[in-house]
Amino acid sequence: MEKKFIPIDLHCHSTHSDGSLSVSEVMNLAKSNGALYQALTDHDTVEGISEARKICQQLALNFISGVEISVTWHHNTLIHIVGLGIDENNQQLVEELAKLRTSRIERAKRIAHNLTKVGIHGAFEGAMALCEHPEAISRTHFGKWLVDAGHAKPGKAFEKFLAPGKVGYTQQSWASLENAVKWITDSGGIAIIAHPSRYKFTRTKLLKLIDEFKNYGGIGIEVISSSHSLQDEENIASICRVSGLLASVGSDFHQEESYRTIRPGKNKALPNGLDTVFSHIGIAPEIYTHGEQC
Ligand code: AMP
Ligand code: MN
Ligand code: MN
Ligand code: MN
């Protein structure tokens, strides 16, 4: 079957959060993969944005400012909201994200403390040593350390220690859905539900999330994402049609050789007949319509 790709990537990480590549490395990689439009969407931070914009100017790559905000929905469900076209100097956004990052350090101490209960010591220092920006400390860094230290097999740290219900998981109050959408839209950006199929919600629950999200001003949802199967893509495409949300695409790139399969800089073409977020962030429609062959 003929496969198409589009040179647009609206979700991607660097060492400013839990990605393995610096801003410069990830933008150069995206460019070499054929990107025409590349976003940077680090978790709960916009600190890489100005550097990314400069590098993209040098590379003649269209840059889209972004962020991925951690949200606690309905008391205990963790979801991620991507903001695109945000103003990284917006005071409310900068201050609120700084609070979320401070809470990451407190959470990291609790994660490490919980791991001592199963005889694992030194996790806080170990994970921190793998993290370039301490306040961005993430379960990803704990996962890498647990594997390096021999406590988990490669790719198994989450299911053994870090996923909800496991000893290293700890409850955290992230942003509310309403605030995350507000901070994004107040700063001039658009809000998008990240990788919806990863939450394993029933269709009813996902539609409930979407209903609230739209009421707060959210407009998009990722149809194409590394963690989505073909079936997931079709499922979320149908959700777009019934809900009126606009489709988005993102590699969610973190590192080479990860379980995520889409390379940074390009994405699979969307299923036919979907309205997209592209025109809202200045992406020319012909880029999409004439998706190149690969
Ligand atoms: P945190 O924001 O610190 O809770 O960490 C969440 C990050 O962990 C996500 O953004 C993913 O990059 C990563 N992650 C979540 N689940 C898994 C998993 N099952 N395997 C590997 N990485 C994961
Ligand atoms: Mn991540
Ligand atoms: Mn995410
Ligand atoms: Mn992400």
**CA–CA separation, 246 and 197 (whole Å):** 16
- Check pocket membership of 139 for ligand 1, CB cut-off 6 A: yes
Give the predicted TM-score (pTM) of the model.
0.96
Question: Where does residue 114 rank: exposed (0-12), middle (13-18), buried (19+ CB within 10 A)?
Answer: middle
| Residue given tokens 């499922």 in the structure block | 235
Direct distance between the N- and C-terminal alpha carbons of the chain, in angstroms, rounded to an integer: 11
Residue-wise pLDDT for 227-245, tens only, equals 999 999 999 999 999 999 9
Token output for 71: 């949200």
Q: What is the pLDDT of residue 260?
A: 66
92: closest CA among 140, 46, 57? Answer: 46
Q: What is the pLDDT of residue 249?
A: 97
Closest-approaching ligand to the CA atom of 164: 1
Which domains, and CATH codes, for the chain? Answer: 4-100+176-293 (3.20.20.140), 104-162 (1.10.150.650)
Say what percent of the chain tops pLDDT 90.
89
Contact 140, 254 (CB under 8 A): yes
Residue-wise pLDDT for 244-292, tens only, equals 999 999 999 999 876 667 899 989 999 988 999 999 999 987 777 655 5
User: What average pLDDT does the segment 77-93 reach?
Assistant: 98
Ligand 1 test: best mutation among 11, 12, 13, 18, most atoms within 8 Å of CB? 18
- CA-nearest residue, atom 11 of ligand 1: 140
Asked if residue 126 has pLDDT above 90, the reply is yes
Q: What is the pLDDT of residue 289?
A: 62
Q: What is the largest CA-CA distance in the chain?
A: 57
User: Is the dihedral angle over the CA atoms 155, 19, 99, 192 positive or is it negative?
Assistant: negative
- CA-nearest residue, atom 20 of ligand 1: 158
Ligand 1 test: best mutation among 133, 139, 172, 195, most atoms within 8 Å of CB? 139
Residue 225 CA to ligand 2 center (angstroms) comes to 13
Residue-wise pLDDT for 137-153, tens only, equals 999 999 999 999 999 99
For 155: left if phi > 0, alpha if psi spans -120 to 50, otherwise beta; the answer is left
How far from 181 is each of 47, 209, 247, CA to CA, in Å? 19, 13, 17
- Check pocket membership of 37 for ligand 1, CB cut-off 6 A: no
| Residue given tokens 């791991």 in the structure block | 115
Residue-wise pLDDT for 153-209, tens only, equals 999 999 999 999 999 999 999 999 999 999 999 999 999 999 999 999 999 999 999
Question: Where does residue 48 rank: exposed (0-12), middle (13-18), buried (19+ CB within 10 A)?
Answer: buried
Residue 263 DSSP label: P
What average pLDDT does the chain have? 94
Amino acid at 223: V
